Structure 1
Amino acid sequence: MLYYLFDYLNKTLNISGTGVFQYITFRSSLAFILSLLLSTIYGKRVISFLQRQQVGETIRELGLKGQNEKAGTPTMGGLIIIFATLIPVFLFAKLHNIYVVLLIVTTLWMGTIGFVDDYIKIFKKDKEGLKGIFKVFGQVGLGLIVGCVLYFNPQVTVRTDTGKIDVFRQTTETVVVPAGIEEKSTATTIPFFKNNEFDYAEVLAWTGDGYEKWAWLIYIPVVIFIITAVSNGANLTDGIDGLAAGTSAISVLALAIFTFVSGNIIFSNYLNIMYIPNSGEMTVFIAAFVGALIGFLWYNSYPASVFMGDTGSLTIGGIIAVLAIAVRKELLIPLLCGIFLVENFSVVLQVSYFKYTKKRFGEGRRIFLMSPLHHHYQKKGYHESKIVTRFWIVAILLAILSIVTLKLR
């Protein structure tokens, strides 16, 4: 909203200094600062409110050291992340930008699913929460919306070959004239390959001429799968103090770099990557989101004063998935979100191996002492703060390696 006010003051009244709001970097900085302040200053009030409402976490007996001490800790802290993200976005972002709209919808959609799940657990005293089938329906529904918008909306375009660009000055304005034309495309980026663009439509090339118009049959299911997988991965990672929020902040910071360079014609041309018009505006949303995550960590670090609950974890996963898909870096998710991937696989392997051995030997056996993976290390006697710190270090390494793919191919 402030963006439109200052845009009016600059273009209509020509007030000196108001043009600074045209810069994504400036608005991103403001979004980050405001988000951080909101989550740290008002986060305490939200926690106090949750305590008064007796919104306490019910702890299952897992035989983990210090686990019972967390009983009664307020949950639904994901509300802090959601509000601290959306308020700066509404103030500083271009709300007519299709990518920003998609991210706002994702935040509210996944936040609602998580909130309902937490509400059932806490107030209905049902430890299972929202039935798994309804969670999946919600995730698939969001994937369907995001996939359809990205595929059919005319504002979502790419320029894969930026070619030569001319930069010259007209009076006080710098004008950039890119080569080529914007086009609808289902192209994405394959990391570590020189000619690293892959078009989902090519999967249907065997059907003959005109196969491009059926690309949505491949693209939309892929989007649905990614959103479902990443949101569930974030949900599983949220098991010990500060783990999900910290690793997510690291991954999102890496995505901020991809978003900024992909939405800038000069940087995308220099790095020889896909130019995605208007995508740079997502940097403002990301800055607010990172500020909210860091502010939330103020209260969620060990020993946690609040848990994010499914309200936060499902929202985090959904946002990361949509960001990666929108900036055409979804194939980097296994690397960038490697912590989520390993946590997911540890559960799948544990359950699958247990069922297999029970069927074959009559007694179920386990690969890990406990799953997800962070609980395995807790069972081995590691303090949870040490586990979280080491997972953060791994997440930083994965983020750096992901960023390196901009040139390493």
Structure 2
Amino acid sequence: MDAKLFSSRSIQLSGTLLLILLSLGLSAAAFVADMAAGRPLGQELSLTLPLWVCALATTGLGFWVVPLLRSLKAGQIIREDGPQTHLKKTGTPTMGGVFFLPVAVGVALVWSGFSPSVVAVSALTLGYGAIGLLDDWQIIRRKSNKGISPRLKLMLQIGFGALFCLWLMATQPINITTIALPLGLSLPLGALFWLLAGFALVAESNAVNLTDGLDGLAGGTAAIALLGLGALIAPTHPDLMLFCACLSGSCLGFLSHNRNPARVFMGDTGSLALGGAIAAVGLLTNTLFAVLLLSGLFLVETLSVIAQVSYYKATKGPDGIGKRLFKMSPFHNHLELSGWAETRIVAVFYTIGGLLALLALAIQ
């Protein structure tokens, strides 16, 4: 067999392998949670079940929803100034978030007994998903890669984020405004915390959205980040660990349809919601520093866009044309134009995401 073909097929297994590793990782996290909380060993191991339930339910539901989206002509419009290899993806159904988000949220709500924290995080997740759905629908309706205006999208994100923060103010203890740091340190922010909270929700949402540019990239990296976050909060917030497990499982089920070559894209419907969910759980559990580590890949993607735009503007000549720091941003596009295969980029990002999750767990 050709070595290149063998390598490609090996990397294609990353979605299945990730599912197995995540399940084992969640089992280990639950075991550690039992020991830390002094519970009988094995009591919390049942939390692995929601991950599998959501993964299998999302996989099965996708076999019905993906053809439906295709029949509705909900095809993605690929921007012409992006990598030329992506043009062949034009017409691939998008808005995949409409089937994996409801599975995760529905299972988490029922399984947690409608825990107030899970209800709040689920509401924020669905709210951001609704913003993405509106954006995706406008792109499809106009047959253009421009959906709702960036200003409107930002205002809606800030609006839902403000509602979530108001709920936090009304229900959480006063010490929530103190950020927990490694080595037992903390950083009291007072009223500034709420500005940080709003920024975290909007920034994380858009960061995952920027990462959603290659088959399986955002779904897999978000699944890893959610697992790491779930393992981290297991001893103190089992209900939100359950939510993370459900959303991670749904991302894995989505990967069965989104791995290269993708049969469906998550669209803004999925990516905006995933980022908002991660930040919301971080705020509720006082793990924002850990979320920063877990979101390291999303941060790099965002910074690459900021750096590209800033450098281009700073180097503009008399002709109005500037220089580019990267071949294209976000950073995964730079790697692709540098000769990296999509599957290689995704596999490397998965590996880095896993290492960041281990780091976050190790220093907390």
TM-score category, normalised to shorter length: 0.7 to 0.9
Q: How does 1:44-83 map to 2 (within 5 A)?
A: 44-62=63-81, 64=83, 66-83=85-102
Q: How does 1:275-354 map to 2 (within 5 A)?
A: 279-354=237-312
Q: Residue 389 and residue 232 in structure 1: after superposition, are their counterparts in 2 closer, same or farther (change >3 A)?
A: same
The residue that corresponds to 1:251 in the other structure is 225
The residue that corresponds to 1:6 in the other structure is none
Q: How does 1:119-268 map to 2 (within 5 A)?
A: 119-153=137-171, 156-157=172-173, 184-191=175-182, 194-201=183-190, 215=191, 218-261=192-235, 263=236
The residue that corresponds to 1:89 in the other structure is 108
Q: Residue 63 and residue 126 in structure 1: after superposition, are their counterparts in 2 closer, same or farther (change >3 A)?
A: closer
User: What CA distance in whole angstroms lies between the structure 1 residues aligned with 2:89 and 2:195?
Assistant: 39
User: What CA distance in whole angstroms lies between the structure 2 residues aligned with 1:394 and 1:128?
Assistant: 31
Query: By percentage of residues, which structure has more helix?
Result: 2
SS in 2 for 1:42: helix
User: What CA distance in whole angstroms lies between the structure 2 residues aligned with 1:25 and 1:199?
Assistant: 35
User: What CA distance in whole angstroms lies between the structure 2 residues aligned with 1:220 and 1:251?
Assistant: 23
Q: Residue 334 and residue 285 in structure 1: after superposition, are their counterparts in 2 closer, same or farther (change >3 A)?
A: closer
Percent pairwise identity: 35
The residue that corresponds to 1:42 in the other structure is 61
Q: Is the 8 A contact 1:189 1:328 kept in 2?
A: yes
The residue that corresponds to 1:382 in the other structure is 340
TM-superposed deviation, 1:132: 0.7
The residue that corresponds to 1:112 in the other structure is 130
Aligned residue type for 1:127: N
TM-superposed deviation, 1:332: 2.7
Query: Larger C-alpha radius of gyration, 1 or 2?
Result: 1
Q: Residue 360 and residue 338 in structure 1: after superposition, are their counterparts in 2 closer, same or farther (change >3 A)?
A: farther
CA offsets, 1:214-253, max 9 Å, x none? x3xx122111100111101000000000110111111111
Q: Is the 8 A contact 1:94 1:100 kept in 2?
A: no
CA offsets, 1:97-146, max 9 Å, x none? 22111111112101100000000000133421011111111111122122
TM-superposed deviation, 1:361: 8.1
User: What CA distance in whole angstroms lies between the structure 2 residues aligned with 1:115 and 1:142?
Assistant: 15
Q: Residue 100 and residue 225 in structure 1: after superposition, are their counterparts in 2 closer, same or farther (change >3 A)?
A: same
Q: Is the 8 A contact 1:39 1:296 kept in 2?
A: yes
Task: Count the aligned residue pairs.
Answer: 323
TM-superposed deviation, 1:76: 0.3
CA offsets, 1:292-330, max 9 Å, x none? 000000011100000000000000000011111111111
Structure 1 residue ranges, 4+ long, deviating more than 4 angstroms after superposition: 359-362
Aligned residue type for 2:336: Q
Q: How does 1:394-405 map to 2 (within 5 A)?
A: 394-405=352-363
User: What CA distance in whole angstroms lies between the structure 2 residues aligned with 1:59 and 1:250?
Assistant: 27
Q: Is the 8 A contact 2:77 2:143 kept in 1?
A: no
**Alignment TM-score, normalising by the size of structure 1:** 0.76
The residue that corresponds to 2:7 in the other structure is none
TM-superposed deviation, 1:362: 4.8
TM-superposed deviation, 1:47: 0.1
TM-superposed deviation, 1:79: 1.1
Q: Is the 8 A contact 2:128 2:272 kept in 1?
A: yes
TM-superposed deviation, 1:90: 3.1
Q: Which runs of 5+ in 1 are unaligned?
A: 1-22, 158-182, 202-214, 264-278
Q: Is the 8 A contact 1:231 1:313 kept in 2?
A: yes
**Alignment TM-score, normalising by the size of structure 2:** 0.85
SS in 2 for 1:188: strand
Aligned-residue CA RMSD (Å): 1.8
TM-superposed deviation, 1:88: 1.0
Q: 1:366 aligns with which of 317, 324, 334?
A: 324
User: What CA distance in whole angstroms lies between the structure 1 residues aligned with 2:215 and 2:145?
Assistant: 20
User: What CA distance in whole angstroms lies between the structure 1 residues aligned with 2:51 and 2:224?
Assistant: 14
User: What CA distance in whole angstroms lies between the structure 2 residues aligned with 1:250 and 1:24?
Assistant: 20
Q: Residue 361 and residue 120 in structure 1: after superposition, are their counterparts in 2 closer, same or farther (change >3 A)?
A: closer
SS in 1 for 2:234: helix
